[in-house]
Chain A
Amino acid sequence: MSTAPDQPLVAGSTVPPTRRALSRLGLALIAAAGLGGCAMSPPQPWEKGNLARPEMTMGGDALDQRFVQHIYGSKEAASGGYGVGGGGCGCN
């Protein structure tokens, strides 16, 4: 079997609990540190001109995103997170 998995050799959620908890805590701290340096100051309605720019949308170019996510989904084990109802394919 593999010399490189970060899990024991059985299917299922088998990451050691301590390691998993530390990993998630680390991620939470990174996120908090990132946002903590930029205090939330929600804009007034007339201050949203920059937020309404096309490049500020989360999705962006629809065909570009679908093409790229389709490629990554067929070449990597992880996929999804960007929406629901997309279906699958048998891509090699």
Chain B
Amino acid sequence: MAATDTRLPPRGGKAGAIIAAALSLPGVIVPATALADTAPERGEIAIKYLQYQDSQPDLSRIRVRAPSVYVMVPLSPKWSVEGSWVSDTVSGATPRYHTAVSGATRKMSDKRIAEDVKVTRYEERSSYSLSLSHSGENDYQSNAGGLSASFSSDDNNRTWNVGFGYAADRISSTNDPTLHQRKNTVEFMVGVTQAWTANDLVQVNLTLNHGHGYYSDPYKEPDIRPDKRTQSILLTRWNHHFSEMSATLKSSYRYYHDNFGINAHTVGAEWVQPVGDRWTVTPELRYYTQGAASFYYDPVYDPVVGAPYPPGYFTNPPQFISPDQRLSAFGAITAGLKVALKLSADWTVDVKAERYEQRGSWRLGGQGSPGLEPFRATFFQFGVSTRF
């Protein structure tokens, strides 16, 4: 990132030598070239094994095992290429409506393979990237592409970013062999990153997405959603380095709004604390809160027909409707801890554990959707990476 370009002061003099020595300390990157935007000098390979399990009272839900690989190769000072691959093996059960255990799907299993590649061209004060990605599972195929560019100020303290993306998805269902639907989405993003002080980096990104096609969930019943979705997302991030503790606080806030009627707020904080020369410990906290979609209905069922249909569903059917817990009003908290060990100058291993929980009563202001069970999940990551 240009805003972190670390050109040295003019050579000569004791001060320059001291600063140069300080910048050569472990963990401090000093590009050998004075170019504002250049390809990374070294490549990287990272492998991670990811594990996920979610549950609610009396129901163990979805389990995911996902090995993944990331590779970044600098081809020259002006070109780099990076890509990743992940294989998700998914198994378990999920409720067909609200959090009803009796209405859960039978045990299912699925496998998703996703891969992406990104090529970046670096110029003196700008860079340009093209990315392509694919995600495939037996009932969902997604192909996407993106173009992005960044432009730096003369002093390299400010970088503007713009991006455009397009995704074409195909949806089918193992429950309904006749279902063949599509969904297309365009994305626009503009943002700026500012070196606020010698210890503060601030970023603001605005993203607008517009999609049309099939948004209903074929595994929920009854579930009829609008065929257009417009999303507006404001993301702010602020990283501050505490020199006296050699620690970094990474904080973020995201505001989300869409035409389903959902407003959501997300705040996150990570404290990156080196311990000695080889260890880094990173505790993190995240809070998320959302309002319900305008067409979500609470688990109150028709007295004659019964679950999962709301009262009046057959006499006065709504245009849009969903019993999906993910569209209800709730709050969620994540607490996590990551520990990384530097084995050598080039090899690092890391372990991360996170605990996540959703509750209606945790919604900001406390007016969450009633009648839903708490939703809990645990994630683990085991990783190794090397630079070359």
Contacts and interface: CB of A to CB of B under 8 A. Distances in A.
Q: Do A and B bind each other?
A: yes
Interface of A: 1-15, 23, 27, 31, 34-35, 38, 40-58, 60-64, 66-68, 71-72, 75-92
Given A7-B291, A11-B320, A51-B199, A89 B112 contact: yes
A76 B46 contact: no
Interface string B197-213: 11111110101010000
B275 interface: no
A85 B144 contact: yes
24 contacts: A1-B298, A2-B292, A6-B263, A11-B320, A12-B294, A14-B294, A38-B197, A42-B157, A42-B197, A44-B9, A45-B6, A50-B199, A51-B198, A52-B29, A56-B239, A63-B50, A63-B70, A63-B84, A66-B84, A78-B266, A83-B163, A85-B187, A86-B167, A88-B135
B89 interface: no
Interface stretch (B73-81, B120-128, B250-258, B301-309): B250-258
Nearest to B284: A68
Interface of B: 1, 3-9, 16, 19, 22-23, 27-30, 46, 48, 50, 52, 54, 62, 66, 68, 70, 82, 84, 86, 90, 94, 112, 114, 116, 131-135, 137, 139-140, 142-148, 155-158, 163-167, 169, 171, 183, 185, 187-189, 193-203, 205, 207, 209, 219, 226, 231, 233-239, 241, 243, 248, 250, 254-264, 266, 272, 280, 288, 290-298, 310, 318-320, 326-329, 332, 338, 350, 352, 354, 356, 358, 360, 363, 367-370, 375, 377, 379, 381, 383
A57 B127 CA distance: 17
B6 A48 contact: yes
Contacts of A66: 68, 84, 86
Contact of B90 (A64, A80, A92): A92
A11 B294 contact: yes
B84 A62 contact: yes
Contact of A54 (B27, B257, B258): B27
B80 to A, nearest CB: 13
A88 B292 contact: no
Contacts of A82: 205, 235
Nearest to A74: B326
B294 A5 contact: yes
Given A11-B320, A78-B266, A80-B231, A89 B135 contact: yes
